[in-house]
Amino acid sequence: MNDEQRFYQKFRTSRKDFIETLRGSKDAQKIIDKTIFKESKSLGRHGIFTLTESIQVVRRTVTEKERANKFAEKFGKVAGMSQREFRQQGGIKGLQEML
């Protein structure tokens, strides 16, 4: 994908049309703001979470691991295995199916 295609995909106008619009207007700054800065989510790095979203992901992951450990401990003892043996035998897959 070349730069022209990326520009069109992101701003839904070609560079040529955008420059012609700027040349034909009296207030170019308003057009730039309207076209390029209209959506804050389209700017910056794609796929990067905000700090609060990142913290939520980490908390969710830690909670899931704690649940898996409790599950392995509880049902591993019932089956007469340690947590590690329970995991190696595929016992955690049962937890994933239940969730």
Burial 46-83 (b: 16+ CB within 10 A, else e): eeeeeeeeeeeeeeeeeeeeeebeebbeebbeeeebeb
pLDDT at 46 over 60: no
Among candidate residues 39, 47, 32, the one with its CA nearest the CA of residue 10: 39
Per mean pLDDT, which range of 14-18, 44-48, 52-56, 71-75 is the poorest?
Answer: 44-48
Q: What is the pLDDT of residue 75?
A: 75
Q: What is the pLDDT of residue 49?
A: 76
Q: What is the pLDDT of residue 59?
A: 95
pLDDT at 39 over 60: no
pLDDT at 53 over 90: no
Q: What is the pLDDT of residue 63?
A: 93
HSE (CB half, 13 Å, CA atoms) of 53?
4
